Structure 1
Amino acid sequence: MSPTLLLCFLVGYFGVLIAIAFATSKNSSDNSTFFLANKNSKWYLVAFGMIGTALSGVTFISVPGEVGAPAGNQFQYFQFVLGNAVGFIIIATVLLPLYYRMNLTSIYSYIEQRLGYYSYKTAAFIFLVSRTLGSATRLYLVVIVLQRFIFDTYGVPFWVTVLISLGLIWSYTFKGGLKTIIITDTLQTFFLVLSVFLTIYFICDSLSLSIPQAFETIKSSSYSKIFFFEDFLTSKFYFSKQFIGGVFVTIAMTGLDQDLMQKNLSMKTIGEAQKNMFTFTGIFVVLNIFFLSVGALLYIFATKNGIEIPLDHITGKPRTDLLFPEIALNHLTTIPAIVFMLGLTAATFATTDSALTALTTSFCVDFLGMNKKENAEKKDAVKKRHIVHVVFSLLMFFVIIIINSLNSSSVVSLIFLIASYTYGPLLGLYSFGLFVKSRGLHDKLVPLVCIVSPILCYLLATNTEKLLDGYVFSVELILINGFITFMGLLLISKKTDQQTRF
């Protein structure tokens, strides 16, 4: 497909988003609107829009690409998704009631009230690091596609493509914040869902398969295996590793993450927030089945047409992340190519714009105290927020440049690896706060515990052959990280007569 046509499509797409941003932020650019959309969000809009935020371009490209990866991934990712569903239910029934009862703007304010000042700042800082790394990694995936299929044609350097992408996101989020994001993410999720179903239709049409025939073809193919119960010690795909990891990754990356929780806190009541989470969970599970189906169809199409997995420009090795864009943009007609770009753009930017807003909110509230009336009403409060928004945009830029130098073959694997090390301490902090009521912490030592824990976790994961008889960690590593943090907090605590309950 013509790079010029794709570029024109992107310009038009972002023109629509910017128009929505100006319409939603008109006469309402204060911090209250930016942080929580005046707590007037509609639960059904948030539930649908959260799909785009949770899935991202990683799910859109990397999950289908991994179905036929040399490691024999197949549909094993669905084991992780089932764990995600359980994690979402725990968030809706345990964490959301807590956040609403305390009337929080930043969820890390709970840590301040429960554990102390240094624990609070540590939790907020962990989020800033975790979400910046995670969101930059997600955006990196779409940038390499834009670079390869559009901007390389015009000789545009990679770093300029990154800067353009972040500049476009900043342009429609800096003023309206969450109020704008809820509307744009709803629109982008619609495009994402539409593109998934249309992609399945176009590939089936190219393979001369009806939808029922496609279902049978996928079912009887070598890609459809979901549950793995072989080689508990050495297999990363073993069911319990993926399922348990899915539960705790979700609790940490969603329930203890300001980004997705900020949207839940923008609703009037806990009932609406819970309806949002339950609805979102059902849609999330079903959509992931379709993403895996897209992956199977892509590999079936590639085999039939003699298409090999594209090589990475830098490493020269096969990169499964690039199979979907390669087929959609070079081996199908113009309409499927546009549909693919629509879905990819919607998925990735729905995630990054939301993250950028949450990072700005967390820093403004947790480190600048803008949720306090005396600070929120200062004349320069909005100006400071704008500066913070720019700084996090630039920070993401530098992180993407660094990630590009790492040459990871699969972005989805890299994201969950990052999450295992960065979100683990948050899991330990909240577990201690929720379940240990009769012990007081030595608050100033908490940052040290949260630094040591990931280091110990890394040493354990890289020496399992000697220490654990060759056991190979997968996404359940986040649980180990959280447990080490929890035990470290116990060591720096002492029994107290005061019972703290929230």
Structure 2
Amino acid sequence: MSPILVFSIIAGYFAMLMAISYFTSRKADNATYFTANRQSPWFLVAYGMVGATLSGVTFISVPGEVGNSNWTYLQFVMGNLVGYAVIALVLIPLFYKLRLISIYEYLKDRFGQKSYYAGASFFLISQTIGASFRLFLAALVLQIAFFDAFGIPFWVTVLITIGLIWLYTFRGGIKTIVWTDTLQTTFLLLAVLISIFVIVDHMELEATQVFSVVSESSMSDVFDWDWRSNSNFFKSFLAGIFITIAMNGLDQNVMQKNLTCKNQKDAQKNIFWFSITFFISTVLFLALGVLLYKYAMDQGIAIPERSDDLYPLLALNEFGILAGIVFLLGIIAAAFSSADSALTALTTSFCVDILDIEKRKGNQKRTRMLVHIGFTILMFFVIVIFNAVNDSSVVSAVFKVAGFTYGPLLGLFAYGLLTSNPVKDKWVPLVCIISPFISVILDWNSAQWFNGYQFGFEILLVNAGITMIGLFALYRARPINI
């Protein structure tokens, strides 16, 4: 694919995003940026969230990971469905009742100011890392497809990519994101469907044969019952539930979109319909993975050492212009959809939770824009650092990191919702810091200490459990009124 064609695709796509930004950011204020004035149609939010949740990680890593762990990732996604039900039935009513802008404001009401800062800080750390990992994938593909041809270094590619995202989000915020996510989800799903069609055409398969090829492949095995395996069904299913609750229900990035719906009922409908669409979309990506590996083996193409490289390699070099174009549109859509909402959520959380912007004197809009710029720069440096040290499948890395950084958040909210006990607020941040360290030690030594048992995504539950034990230890007796 010629660099000029790649540039034209990127420029055309970005022009559409800028047009949406222009129309959605007119007369925008802080309420528009943070909550979209709570006027978003629920079906628009649900559809757009598919693209944001799938992200570049799903788009590239999930098809590639099929060669390493078959369809066992689907066990995790089954747990996701249960997690989304909990979000819709438990968390959505709570957040709408409290009329929150940032969901971490709940922690201030429940525990105190120190707990509030601790929860918000862990989100800021978690989201910065997760969003940077996802955007790294997109920048890597753009580097291969376009910037390498001109000898442009990777850090410049990252700077350009994240700069484009900043341009169309800095004014309209979450209102712009709700609409751009709709466009990006459309391109993302079209990309996977057209990719499957192109592969089937290259393999000269009849439409009726595709299901048989996928279902009969050994790579389509879903369930792993080995209790020591990190992809064991029960571990993956439970982790899917609680990682969904932590990374979506307790994540300002995702919940900020839900809180733009007109009312609680609309937000709940959004979650249920989104979760069904997300499950179907994941099945499509796993099917694509089986077809990619089969095509490579049939054609004698060497499988890349890194599974993340398989889809880009075949789409850009083997399947022709159409496949290359839709792949680029898909990865750009996936990356922008997750990174733009993350940047907006990080800005919102820092402004509301850390700066308490509504009580600040002076130009609040200017303060918000400076924070937006600050997080843009921070994500740039995290991506560059990750590029220097990355040596594993990104899909595993993202959720592994989340197990350590979202654990304290899950523990805080679980303790707050399941008990009525007050705590010694000033010591809560220390508990939230110690819990991940203990979890890391357990994870590193699990095989040696627990007869070969290896932690998978369920390390999140261990982390949250340690946090809750620490909170119980901080119990503060209520004063007795005489």
| TM-score, normalised by the number of residues in structure 1 | 0.94
Task: Tell me the residue number matched to 2:363.
Answer: 380
Aligned counterpart in structure 2 of residue 228 of structure 1, from 218, 224, 227: 224
1:400 CA drift (Å): 0.5
Task: Tell me the residue number matched to 2:11.
Answer: 11
**Partners of 2:385 and 2:249 in 1: CA distance:** 28
After the TM superposition, which residues 192-207 of structure 1 pair with which residues of structure 2 at under 5 Å, given as runs? 192-207=188-203
Task: Tell me the residue number matched to 1:479.
Answer: 461
Aligned counterpart in structure 1 of residue 400 of structure 2, from 417, 425, 444: 417
**Partners of 2:446 and 2:196 in 1: CA distance:** 41
Deviations 1:296-338 (A, max 9, x none): 000011011111223xxxxxxx111011011011001101110
**Partners of 2:456 and 2:205 in 1: CA distance:** 36
Matched, 1:450 2:432: yes
Task: Tell me the residue number matched to 1:89.
Answer: 85
1:167 CA drift (Å): 0.2
Deviations 1:426-485 (A, max 9, x none): 011001111120x22111111110110000011111111332122100001000000000
Task: Tell me the residue number matched to 1:488.
Answer: 470
Matched, 1:238 2:232: yes
Aligned counterpart in structure 2 of residue 345 of structure 1, from 332, 345, 353: 332
Aligned counterpart in structure 1 of residue 417 of structure 2, from 421, 434, 459: 434
Other structure's SS at 2:476 match: strand
**Partners of 1:342 and 1:497 in 2: CA distance:** 60
Contact persistence 1:201–1:211 (CA under 8 A): no
1:494 CA drift (Å): 2.8
Task: Tell me the residue number matched to 1:293.
Answer: 287
Amino acid at match of 1:265: L
**Partners of 2:139 and 2:387 in 1: CA distance:** 10
Aligned counterpart in structure 1 of residue 174 of structure 2, from 146, 171, 178: 178
Deviations 1:106-161 (A, max 9, x none): 00000000011000000000000000000000000111111122111110011000
Aligned counterpart in structure 2 of residue 284 of structure 1, from 270, 278, 281: 278
Q: Percent identity?
A: 50
Matched, 1:251 2:245: yes
**Partners of 1:348 and 1:272 in 2: CA distance:** 27
**Partners of 1:407 and 1:461 in 2: CA distance:** 19
Task: Tell me the residue number matched to 1:275.
Answer: 269
Amino acid at match of 1:108: Y
After the TM superposition, which residues 53-202 of structure 1 pair with which residues of structure 2 at under 5 Å, given as runs? 53-69=52-68, 73-202=69-198
Deviations 1:82-116 (A, max 9, x none): 00111011000000100001110000000000011
Other structure's SS at 1:275 match: helix
Task: Tell me the residue number matched to 1:313.
Answer: none
Task: Tell me the residue number matched to 2:355.
Answer: 368
**Partners of 2:454 and 2:200 in 1: CA distance:** 38
1:45 CA drift (Å): 0.3
Other structure's SS at 1:472 match: coil
Other structure's SS at 1:68 match: helix
Contact persistence 1:449–1:488 (CA under 8 A): yes
1:3 CA drift (Å): 2.4
Amino acid at match of 1:106: S
Contact persistence 1:429–1:485 (CA under 8 A): yes
Matched, 1:213 2:200: no
Task: Tell me the residue number matched to 1:315.
Answer: none
1:212 CA drift (Å): 2.1
Unaligned stretches of 5+ residues in structure 2 = none
Other structure's SS at 1:493 match: coil
Contact persistence 1:67–1:74 (CA under 8 A): yes
Deviations 1:60-101 (A, max 9, x none): 0100000012xxx00000000000111011000000100001
1:369 CA drift (Å): 1.1
1:497 CA drift (Å): 6.3
**Partners of 2:298 and 2:452 in 1: CA distance:** 39
1:7 CA drift (Å): 1.8
Amino acid at match of 2:116: Y
**Partners of 2:123 and 2:455 in 1: CA distance:** 23
**Partners of 1:3 and 1:307 in 2: CA distance:** 24
**Partners of 1:463 and 1:247 in 2: CA distance:** 25
**Partners of 1:404 and 1:159 in 2: CA distance:** 9
Deviations 1:237-293 (A, max 9, x none): 110011011111100000000011001111111000000000001000011000000
**Partners of 2:391 and 2:435 in 1: CA distance:** 24
Other structure's SS at 1:107 match: coil
After the TM superposition, which residues 297-308 of structure 1 pair with which residues of structure 2 at under 5 Å, given as runs? 297-308=291-302
Other structure's SS at 2:35 match: helix
Contact persistence 1:97–1:270 (CA under 8 A): yes
Superposition misfits of 4+ residues, deviation over 3 angstroms: none
Which is further off, 322-331 or 208-217?
208-217
RMSD: 1.2
Aligned counterpart in structure 2 of residue 354 of structure 1, from 315, 334, 341: 341
Matched, 1:402 2:389: no
Amino acid at match of 2:33: F
Contact persistence 1:196–1:291 (CA under 8 A): yes
Contact persistence 1:145–1:322 (CA under 8 A): no
**Partners of 1:211 and 1:93 in 2: CA distance:** 40
Aligned residues: 481
Task: Tell me the residue number matched to 1:326.
Answer: 313
**Partners of 2:479 and 2:334 in 1: CA distance:** 50
Matched, 1:465 2:447: yes
1:4 CA drift (Å): 2.3
Contact persistence 1:107–1:256 (CA under 8 A): yes
1:401 CA drift (Å): 1.0
| TM-score, normalised by the number of residues in structure 2 | 0.98
**Partners of 2:303 and 2:374 in 1: CA distance:** 37
